[in-house]
Structure 1
Amino acid sequence: MENKMNQRFGCTSAGCTGKEESFDPMEAHRRLADKFNALGSLLTSYMNEAPLDRALRNNHAIQLALATARIIGGTPVSKGEYKDCCLIGESLPNGIVQWNCTGVLVHPQIVLTAAHCHQPPRVTASVVALSCESMNHLKDAEVIPAKISVAHPKYLQTGLHDISVIILKKPATTPPCPLATTNELKSSQQLSLVGFGNSDVYSTRGFGEKRHVQVDIIGIRKDPNDDLDALEIKYGFESDVEILAGGLGFDSCNGDSGGPAYIDLGPQRKVAALTSRAFRGASKPCGDGGIYTRTDVELDFISHVAGSYSISLN
């Protein structure tokens, strides 16, 4: 459920950007049509439930557009769980923070979220709230402003690489979660999704409360020779940089965008991917399954941004 606006970063090294990706106008058209259809359905459903007051309806529409970013079938987290999973918000000129996405702390000074959660001037990822379970109870949360937020330079062109790196103004005291390796992800069969997104399949309510759900991985490239063309066409994803997971009522939802998809490795948990969007052709905004950006293949980009501020992931 992405909204794409241009955000580029001076990332020119081959290791940072990876292989050059060709622009497919037909695929771009399909992606854009999918987004318009999904957004139209969401707005219609949301506005029908809103009161007839025009100002309130307009405000609801704006809020929906900002949060249209994607835990269904899950449960609220216990206090102190997933402290590294954080709220992503924008500090407005009047001093109010508008929370709209989810992210994850992977280094004391680095938070990852979705690229479509940082697309100025529409929306800017400028502050995070760690160690909290609800946007309505932030008294004990660790709230830190961003020094800079950088969306992947290829996101706008391709609709892929749905990842932004946020450099915090000061190191967090909340313990970060390490990133999973490629082999660790390939050997996993399930993901634990966590986020602050909506909690019903039509994506109309529930944003701001941290929830989690476990889902099966249903599409992942484990070998360069794997033939996933049929899955890619059917679900609208790119297996070189994304994975498919969830469905049958267990899923992420709007507002979960940029949130962590963890894998459990015995006593340790690691971040393997970030919530991006729903399947192509999903019958409902949420619940049919989702597409997740692999963090292992984005490691060069993350490291490049971090290195620009003299930060090492190691």
Structure 2
Amino acid sequence: MRVLQVRRLPLVAVPLIGVGLLVPSSSFAADPPSQVEVGVDQEPAVYGGAAAKPCGWPTAVYVSFGSWVCSGTLVHPDVVITAAHCPNSTSGKNATISFGEGQGGGARNVSATCYSNPSYNGNVGPSDYAYCKLNQSVTDVPIIPPAWGCDVSALAPGREVVIVGFGNSDNGGSGSKREVTTTINGINTEAWIGGDGKDACQGDSGGPVYIKLKSEFGGDDSWRAFGITSGGGTCGQGGTFALMHVAIPWIEEHSGIDITPCHDSEGEWAPTPECGAIPLDPGNGMGTWSSGCSDGPISGFSSLCGDAFGSGEDLDPPTVDITSPATGTVFMVGAGETQADVAISVSADDGAGFGVADVRLKINGQEFPGNTDSSAPYDWNLVFGPGGYLIEAIATDFVGNESSPDVVAVGVDEEAPPLPGGDDGGGGEDDGDSDTGGDDGLDSGLDSGLDSGLGDSGYGTSFEGSVGCSCATPAGSGKQQGGALGALALLGLLGLRRRRD
């Protein structure tokens, strides 16, 4: 009979033999991140591996509950999967999700509420799963989807996998991201992974195991997250892992969020626009955290188990409507200020088509940095100096069809300028029947307006207060700049213990 032992590790600051160094997680929140030389093999990883490279495995996250810490996996912009014994609460426990590779993550923090599987039985194994609902969406980090539906067929004994976490390593260190490549030893409703010195350890609880869907086995060389570190015996001898595809039905039902972009709730192939742009080399670390580590190679729309999203015809362009501000609105510059805040909201719809890929703005006929928003709600917070402005919104769908533009005219400290061609503008949603070259005939009108002095006082983001055509971003710092999947871009262990620090 296998003995399962649950260990809630106390918060102490002395090393315990067989347990490793327990570090108060609050030190990571209060102090600057330690200088960790990431990507250097001289600091052994997890057990038997290597330190993660900068931007390596960006969806592997550090999860702090104040008095103890775990690891986790970002599987959706709003959802992190971890182990049930980490929050150990079915009613919700507050946590801080930290991204990065350094001590305690170090790159950025997002608050969250975490919920344990109500069927969790207190033991290592298949019921040891939980999820955290982020309080702010993370849309700029390329997601490795959880294995579901046809993906699960790749999970077999002997297959090579990668364990990632922030737990203890061979030399007793902990708190920075590490990885180790090993194999699946056995799998049913849980998995047994690692051994021969390659393993997860305390602090890795809840962290991911990734698998590459290799083309030699009929895959497309993209990656999936599938394992949830649960527990094991002596670190280095291998351990027991819960499985994401066992957890998914409850997570989706409880959270109300679809975290499987390529399949429906029954596991049948049903690709969405997010069933693509899947990382092909996530461990290699490309880009910087300022851009969400998003510079690495990605897949097109996946056709792994059926037709890719966007297969077939979609001849109709989307519609777009600037819902705020209305044409004729005049904004006043406050006393002692030089610019006025202007919030812009846009709605877009692709009807029976494949969906809206992005919406972009032009101000007085000009593109500007951050003018493209790839996810609803489509909102921008800008600042305008005195003058007249023509605000233009254009929507593009996932096959490249482009809407006719919607245009509104506003003024700052003066009346709004006339619309090109005498159009009534804003608030009247376009019927979308014009050709896909939505700008035809409009830029000339805007150029004429510019010659009359439009935009001479400049505009920029509300938080920069910049002057001139410098930059603008969608409202909300969590939203990805410039589009994510845009149409043009894609397409029998004794004494098992919890691996929580």
Regarding TM over 0.5, the answer is yes
Work out whether 1:75 is the aligned partner of 2:41.
no
Alignment of 1:222-301 (within 5 A): 241-266=189-214, 267-278=221-232, 282=233, 285-301=234-250
User: In structure 2, the residue corresponding to 1:155 is in which secondary structure?
Assistant: coil
Q: Which residue of 2 aligns with 1:195?
A: 165
Deviation at 1:186, TM superposition (A): 3.5
Structure 1 moving runs of 4+ over 4 Å: 60-64
Identity of aligned residues (%): 31
User: In structure 1, the residue corresponding to 2:65 is in which secondary structure?
Assistant: strand
Work out whether 1:306 is the aligned partner of 2:255.
yes
User: In structure 2, the residue corresponding to 1:183 is in which secondary structure?
Assistant: helix
Residue identity in the other structure for 1:134 = G
| Cα pair distance change 1:136/1:255, threshold 3 Å | closer
Task: Give a deviation string over 1:117-175, Cα, whole Å, max 9, x none.
Answer: 11259x94511012x0012562xx231101x2110111135654111111101110322
How many residues are treated as equivalent by the alignment? Answer: 225
Q: Which residue of 2 aligns with 1:145?
A: 111
Higher Cα radius of gyration: 2
Matched-pair contact (CA < 8 Å) for 1:87–1:99: no
Q: Which residue of 2 aligns with 1:227?
A: none
Give ranges in structure 1 of 5+ residues lacking alignment. 1-25, 50-59, 65-70, 92-97, 222-240
| Cα pair distance change 1:248/1:143, threshold 3 Å | same
Matched-pair contact (CA < 8 Å) for 1:258–1:276: yes
Alignment partners' CA distance in 2, 1:62 and 1:101: 12
User: In structure 2, the residue corresponding to 1:212 is in which secondary structure?
Assistant: strand
Alignment partners' CA distance in 2, 1:116 and 1:188: 28
User: In structure 2, the residue corresponding to 1:305 is in which secondary structure?
Assistant: helix
| Cα pair distance change 1:137/1:118, threshold 3 Å | closer
Matched-pair contact (CA < 8 Å) for 1:89–1:124: no
| Cα pair distance change 1:103/1:150, threshold 3 Å | same
Alignment partners' CA distance in 2, 1:142 and 1:39: 26
Task: Give a deviation string over 1:182-240, Cα, whole Å, max 9, x none.
Answer: 2132487121000111002xxx821111111111111123xxxxxxxxxxxxxxxxxxx
| Cα pair distance change 1:188/1:47, threshold 3 Å | closer
Q: Which residue of 2 aligns with 1:115?
A: 84
| Cα pair distance change 1:206/1:125, threshold 3 Å | farther
Deviation at 1:48, TM superposition (A): 6.7
Matched-pair contact (CA < 8 Å) for 1:150–1:164: yes
Deviation at 1:46, TM superposition (A): 2.9
Residue identity in the other structure for 1:301 = W
Deviation at 1:245, TM superposition (A): 0.9
Residue identity in the other structure for 2:254 = V
Alignment partners' CA distance in 1, 2:243 and 2:230: 10
Deviation at 1:100, TM superposition (A): 1.1
Alignment partners' CA distance in 2, 1:48 and 1:188: 32
More relative contact order in 1 or in 2 (CA 8 Å, sep 6+)?
1
Residue identity in the other structure for 1:287 = G
Greater fraction of residues in helix:
1
Matched-pair contact (CA < 8 Å) for 2:190–2:240: yes
Give ranges in structure 2 of 5+ residues lacking alignment. 26-45, 215-220, 262-501
